[in-house]
Amino acid sequence: MENIELKPSGQLMPTLGFGFWKVPNPMCKDIVVKAVKAGYRLLDCASDYGNEAEVGDGIKAVLDQGLITRKDLFVTSKLWCTHHRKEHVKVALKRTLADLGLDYLDLYIIHFPICVKYVPIEERYPPGFYYDGVGPKPIIDPVPYQETWQAMEELVDEGLVKNIGVSNMAAALLMDVLSYARIKPAVLQIELHPYCTRNQLVRFAQENDVAITAYSSFGDASYQSIGMVKEGKDFVSLLNHNTVLNICDQVERTPAQVLLRWAVQRGCAVIPKSASDQRIVSNAQLFDFNLSESQMDSLNDLNINLHFNDPDKYLGYPIFGN
Ligand code: NAD
């Protein structure tokens, strides 16, 4: 299993992780066990996924069964958009730690550069984007990102998290964070696949020792399943794209493995999600083959700057806007 060194702490982050977005609550415990048995060493969680307590049951199971030790498991979670004010950051982390049954996280990420009006945990959890729980518009609470970042740094000082990171941001905001960060962001987690290659952002982050974690490596697959996008005139499903399928024939691998390998060869970590036993195993088999330069180039050429997870589409809030 490969790792990426996180420069601010020196800790190694596993290149392969398992993502828990949309994993049904009753399946989480078993899936943690299956993922650890299949070789995953990183669990990518978030308060917003609404399943941290059940993931916590799985973590307890793998530790109790002696399948892994706490220090060999890398657990990530994310601060939700209702809790960006400095007095709310630690409150949110404490709930996540309690649900996961842990006394520290390996990585805590600010989920989106979007702050919405505070909803106390006792009122609704996870709160989602809408103050009234329904929408259709979020109530934006304009908290400076620096305020949230400084509260995140205090969590490191207190030993509650080992590393802190950012997500869903473009290069200009990352430049800003780097200008004031006492503790630099260890990780930038972004949507990354051949339809959205983000070359400039990946280059800038890596040049500045910010490791990249790629999410939604299978492009539309994750969003088709919740009706957020439909294959049509704009794109064919990435897992069925002829370029991907041709490379699969050449390297004798599945489309999913080729897409994950593409990100790994760009020096990124990956966190695929699956609820199928067979795919949990096959998605982890990424470290015994290589894509050639021309195979990498032909995947890079598919770029159309297409974000499937674009808050402008579902909130009318254009964080990636030009
Ligand atoms: P993903 O790209 O991992 O795709 C998941 C979908 O692909 C599922 O529908 C699954 O059934 C299907 N799939 C899985 N393996 C397959 C295979 N071998 N062949 C064919 N289909 C397969 O998408 P994701 O869940 O959006 O992203 C992965 C993880 O990234 C999430 O679970 C979450 O942890 C994280 N994430 C973070 C953010 C963020 O804002 N930071 C946003 C989205 C996702």
**CATH code at position 85:** 3.20.20.100
**pLDDT at residue 1 greater than cutoff 80:** no
Domain annotation covers residue 184: yes
Probe residue for ligand 1, chosen from 109, 166, 274 as the CB with the greatest number of ligand atoms within 8 Å = 274
The atom number, within ligand 1, closest to the CA of 283 reads 18
Cα-to-centroid distance, 265 and ligand 1 (Å): 19
Probe residue for ligand 1, chosen from 129, 190, 222, 264 as the CB with the greatest number of ligand atoms within 8 Å = 222
Ligand 1 pocket, residues with Cβ under 6 angstroms: 19-21, 44, 111, 167-168, 189, 215-218, 221-222, 225, 239, 254, 256, 271-274, 279, 282-283, 309
**pLDDT for residue 176:** 98
Domain annotation covers residue 122: yes
**pLDDT for residue 234:** 78
**pLDDT for residue 26:** 98
Handedness of CA 197, 263, 189, 6 (dihedral sign): negative
Tell me the pLDDT band of 322, cut-offs 50, 70 and 90.
confident
Collapsing DSSP to helix, strand or coil, 196 comes out as strand
Tell me the pLDDT band of 221, cut-offs 50, 70 and 90.
very high
Q: What is the average pLDDT across 207-234?
A: 92
**Domain limits for position 103:** 3-231+267-274
- For the chain, give the percent of residues with pLDDT over 90: 95
The atom number, within ligand 1, closest to the CA of 45 reads 34
Total domains in the chain come to 1
Smallest Cα–Cα separation from 185: which of 201, 205, 171? 205
| 49 classed as catalytic | yes
Tell me the pLDDT band of 235, cut-offs 50, 70 and 90.
confident
Tell me the pLDDT band of 155, cut-offs 50, 70 and 90.
very high
How many C-beta atoms lie closer than 10 Å to residue 93's C-beta? 23
Domain annotation covers residue 289: no
Condensed to tens digits (0 to 9), the pLDDT of residues 260-318 reads 999 999 999 999 999 999 999 999 999 999 999 999 999 999 999 999 999 999 999 99
**pLDDT at residue 232 greater than cutoff 90:** no
**pLDDT for residue 64:** 98
Mean of pLDDT over the chain: 97
- Residue set of the binding site: 111
- For the chain, give the percent of residues with pLDDT over 70: 100
**pLDDT for residue 107:** 99
Domain annotation covers residue 315: no
CA distance 103 to 180: 28
Domain annotation covers residue 34: yes
The atom number, within ligand 1, closest to the CA of 193 reads 2
Residue 213: which H helix or E strand, with range?
Answer: strand 211-215
**pLDDT for residue 233:** 73
Cα-to-centroid distance, 216 and ligand 1 (Å): 5
**pLDDT for residue 229:** 85
**pLDDT for residue 230:** 81
Contact status, residue 105 vs residue 74, Cβ threshold 8 Å = no
User: Is the pTM above the cut of 0.85?
Assistant: yes
Q: Identify the residue whose C-alpha is closest to ligand 1 atom 36.
A: 215
**pLDDT for residue 225:** 84
- Residue set of the binding site for substrate: 111
The atom number, within ligand 1, closest to the CA of 223 reads 26
Cα-to-centroid distance, 223 and ligand 1 (Å): 9
Q: What is the average pLDDT across 95-117?
A: 98
**pLDDT at residue 17 greater than cutoff 90:** yes
Q: Identify the residue whose C-alpha is closest to ligand 1 atom 42.
A: 215
**pLDDT for residue 128:** 97
Probe residue for ligand 1, chosen from 193, 195, 216, 257 as the CB with the greatest number of ligand atoms within 8 Å = 216
Condensed to tens digits (0 to 9), the pLDDT of residues 117-153 reads 999 999 999 999 999 999 999 999 999 999 999 999 9
The atom number, within ligand 1, closest to the CA of 21 reads 32
Q: Which residues contact 175 (CB under 8 A, 6 or more apart)?
A: 204
Write out 257-302 in H/E/C secondary structure: HHHHHHHHHCCCEECCCCCCHHHHHHCCCCCCCCCCHHHHHHHHCC
Cα-to-centroid distance, 217 and ligand 1 (Å): 7
Q: Identify the residue whose C-alpha is closest to ligand 1 atom 19.
A: 256
- When comparing pLDDT for 253 and 233, which is higher? 253
Domain annotation covers residue 10: yes
**pLDDT for residue 276:** 97
Strand partners, 270: 16, 214
**pLDDT at residue 96 greater than cutoff 80:** yes
Domain annotation covers residue 83: yes
**pLDDT for residue 68:** 98
Domain annotation covers residue 175: yes
Supply the DSSP string of 70-97, one letter for each residue: GGG-EEEEEE-GGG-SHHHHHHHHHHHH
